[in-house]
Amino acid sequence: MSKTKEEMLKALAEAVVEYDEDACKELSQEVLDRPELLTPMEAVMNGLAAGMEEVGRLYDTHEYFVPEVLMCADALYAGLGILRPHIPKSDAGVNAQVVIGSIQGDVHDIGKNLVKMMFDVAGWGVHDLGRDVPLEQFVEKQLDTNSEVVAMSAMMTTTMLGMKKVIAMIKEKNPECLIMLGGAPVTKDVANLFGADGYADSAGNAVSEGIKMIGRLREFQAAKK
């Protein structure tokens, strides 16, 4: 029996929560096969991303831990890979690019990857430099791509200081580029002190912050309609 729109969105969300990649793929294909039911963008924002928000709640209440969160993210990406090519650029808002990476000396990238996913879901052009990224590479990639945003993550106070150098280098060459910082040791005061434009306000947890940003993004998308 065919699912209703509400049932389809619920099934997509549950497939993410249950980290079921196969179900995410099958349901995403079903969305494409039944265009009268809902658009690929609705399926991503109110199905897959809504499921990831629930994963964030489970993480915050210690019912899920990092391994489960990463498996849920894999499931979300499985669906996203099928749906995203069918989202018109005007819907996805692909008019912005972001360079993202974990700063040199820092091999932690779980939070960074979740924030990257948030940009992916939003349809941004994402240039992921990975982890332990040399400072100059952020600057070079920003200049090569003319990205509007550079997002840097640090999970240690020792590596965090590199962010200040990168900000100074980027602002010197491109003062209009917006810079966002995140990671456990980064506070709003630190971001301001370093000259950043934005700050992922998780003093203790980049994982839940990345997921919360997906929630804020969904609200933003809904408000635009």
Question: Got the DSSP string for 117-145?
Answer: HHHHHHT-EEEEEEEEE-HHHHHHHHHHH
State the pairing for strand pair 149-153/125-133: unpaired
Q: Under CATH, which number does the domain 5-92 receive?
A: 1.10.1240.10
pLDDT at 108: 81
pLDDT per residue as tens, the chain (225 positions): 678 999 999 999 999 999 999 999 999 999 999 999 999 988 988 899 889 888 888 988 899 988 898 899 899 999 999 998 898 765 555 567 889 999 999 888 877 887 788 777 777 789 999 999 999 999 999 999 998 889 999 888 899 999 999 999 999 999 888 888 888 788 889 999 999 887 776 433 444 555 555 565 566 656 655
Residue among 109, 104, 107, 95 nearest 169 (CA)? 104
> How big is the chain, counted in residues?
225
**Torsion region of 208: left, alpha or beta (phi above 0 gives left; psi -120 to 50 gives alpha):** alpha
The CATH homologous superfamily for domain 97-207 is Cobalamin-binding domain (3.40.50.280)
- Please state the φ and ψ torsions of residue 42, each to the nearest 5 degrees: -60, -40
**Torsion region of 195: left, alpha or beta (phi above 0 gives left; psi -120 to 50 gives alpha):** left
pLDDT at 215: 60
Q: Where are the domains of the chain?
A: 5-92, 97-207
Residue type, 200: A
Is the full-model pTM beyond 0.85? no
Q: CB under 8 Å to 33, separation ≥6 — which residues?
A: none
Q: DSSP states of 155-192 as a string?
A: SSHHHHHHHHHHHHHHHHH-TT-EEEEESTT--HHHHH
Residue pair 115/100 in contact (Cβ under 8 Å)? The answer is: yes
What is the residue whose two structure tokens read 């839940």?
208
Residue type, 30: E
Six token digits for residue 109: 């990238």
